[in-house]
């Protein structure tokens, strides 16, 4: 969960194992959506939450599932070490993430409710998405059917459509950053690389297999980079690995494949409409890429692969999810990996100057 949840080692173990015989036989179940009460910032008190379990760790801190004793709600608390953020020059990066998240309100994007800080840490309180990463479910079955892939893609597309309408480029679309909620719908998380972009930006960021060619070539990129990555995600869900990869994890080799735009589908992928939309998203030439112009959303929504999709039903979460997480409650943590728990007393106090950098956080 968040940017630092899934290690690259874990991804490599999944991508390069032999999974040709895996079948997508995940059974759908029915579950009620979790009933929640509106979050009240004025009533929230960090001192009155119970720390339950870590569900993600990284360089700057960790994500912990917490239980608010007052509201009886469960949340995901992202805890970041102030001195580490300052040392690694991530101050503006974190402020930007907060700024973007606080303005977002969409059914397929994780909600940030509250932020704060003390002498050691920054805190970001998110809705807790208990179903775990889409990566987990893809790893378990090897690959998804075209129908399952189309379901998740439709929710991804509406989330990106919303972000792009706000001139926000996401830039970190991958299965590890797509969570399943209690009822099986997607929640996009980790906005550490997201950025307001009106024209184009030149920063190099993202996960190697998912980088658009214009990012690698330093030509500047915009929202079209997200549509490239959408093509990558569709391919990965259908096949079980990204289209541009190297068995030895040679990044130079991966980058060369991306810039050339040369890839193939395995023979077992027979859905021609699915292959068509992937090829259109993975056009190296920006002028030819599906979604590259700001007026091209219609072309995406009307692509033949989505011919039987009612987009208003997608937005209202009326479509039946193909996978229902096996959770017993909205605070269940069984869908996340086990992590060691941090001894917070070991973390030193931050300096006053470091704290002042986040005085408005």
What is the model's pLDDT at position 30?
A: 35
- Averaged pLDDT, groups of 10, the chain, 361 residues long: 45 46 37 62 90 92 94 96 95 95 98 96 97 97 98 99 96 96 97 91 88 92 96 98 91 94 95 98 95 87 97 98 96 94 89 94 92
* Residues annotated in a binding site: 78
What is the model's pLDDT at position 155?
A: 99
CATH topology of domain 36-130+332-356: Phosphorylase Kinase; domain 1 (3.30.200)
Long-range contacts formed by 80-83: CB under 8 A, 24+ apart: 80/121, 80/122, 80/123, 80/124, 81/120, 81/121, 81/347, 82/117, 82/120, 82/121, 82/122, 82/350, 82/354, 82/355, 82/358, 83/348, 83/350, 83/351, 83/354
CA dihedral for 129, 132, 135, 137, sign (positive or negative): negative
pTM over 0.85: yes
Q: Could you give the count of Cα atoms lying within 13 Å of 311 in the half-sphere of its Cβ?
A: 15
What is the model's pLDDT at position 11?
A: 56
Question: Which of these, 125, 202, 141, 126, lies nearest to 169 by C-alpha position?
Answer: 202
What is the model's pLDDT at position 3?
A: 43
What is the model's pLDDT at position 6?
A: 42
* Residues annotated in a binding site for ATP: 78
What is the model's pLDDT at position 112?
A: 97
d(CA 260, CA 244): 10
What is the model's pLDDT at position 172?
A: 94
What is the model's pLDDT at position 31?
A: 39
Under a CB-based contact definition with an 8 Å cutoff, are residues 327 and 33 in contact? no
The residues annotated with a catalytic role in the active site are 172
Q: Could you state, in order of their start, the residue ranges of all structural domains in the chain? A: 36-130+332-356, 134-315
Class at the top of the CATH hierarchy for domain 134-315: mainly alpha
């Amino acid at each position: 969960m968040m940017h630092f949840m899934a290690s690259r080692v874990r991804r490599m173990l999944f991508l390069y194992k032999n999974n040709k015989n895996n079948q997508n036989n995940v059974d759908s179940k029915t579950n009620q959506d979790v009933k929640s009460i509106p979050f009240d910032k004025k009533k929230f008190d960090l001192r009155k939450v119970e720390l339950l379990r870590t569900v993600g760790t990284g360089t700057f801190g960790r994500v912990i599932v917490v239980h608010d004793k007052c509201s009886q709600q469960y949340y995901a608390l992202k805890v970041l070490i102030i001195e580490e953020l300052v040392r690694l020059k991530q101050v503006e990066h974190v402020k930007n993430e907060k700024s973007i998240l606080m303005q977002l309100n969409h059914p397929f994007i994780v909600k940030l409710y509250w932020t704060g800080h003390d002498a050691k840490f920054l805190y970001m309180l998110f809705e807790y998405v208990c179903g775990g990463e889409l990566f987990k479910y893809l790893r378990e079955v090897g690959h998804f059917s075209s129908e399952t892939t189309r379901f998740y893609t439709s929710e991804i597309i509406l989330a990106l459509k919303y972000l792009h309408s706000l001139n926000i480029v996401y830039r970190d679309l991958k299965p590890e950053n797509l969570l399943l909620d209690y009822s099986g719908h997607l929640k996009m998380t980790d906005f550490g690389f997201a950025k307001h972009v009106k024209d184009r930006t030149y920063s190099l960021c993202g996960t190697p297999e998912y980088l658009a060619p214009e990012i690698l070539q330093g030509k500047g990129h915009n929202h079209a980079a997200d549509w490239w990555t959408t093509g990558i995600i569709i391919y990965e869900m259908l096949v079980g690995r990204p289209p541009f990869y190297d068995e030895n994890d040679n990044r130079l080799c991966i980058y060369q494949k991306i810039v050339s735009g040369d890839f193939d589908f395995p023979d077992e992928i027979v859905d021609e409409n699915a292959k068509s939309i992937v090829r259109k998203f993975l056009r190296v030439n920006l002028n030819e890429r599906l979604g590259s112009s700001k007026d091209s959303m219609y072309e995406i929504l009307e692509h033949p692969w989505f011919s039987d999709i009612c987009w208003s039903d997608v937005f209202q979460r009326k479509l039946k999810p193909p996978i229902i997480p096996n959770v017993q409650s909205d605070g269940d943590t069984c869908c996340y990996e086990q992590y060691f728990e941090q001894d917070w007393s070991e973390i030193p106090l931050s300096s006053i100057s470091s704290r002042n950098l986040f005085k408005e956080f």
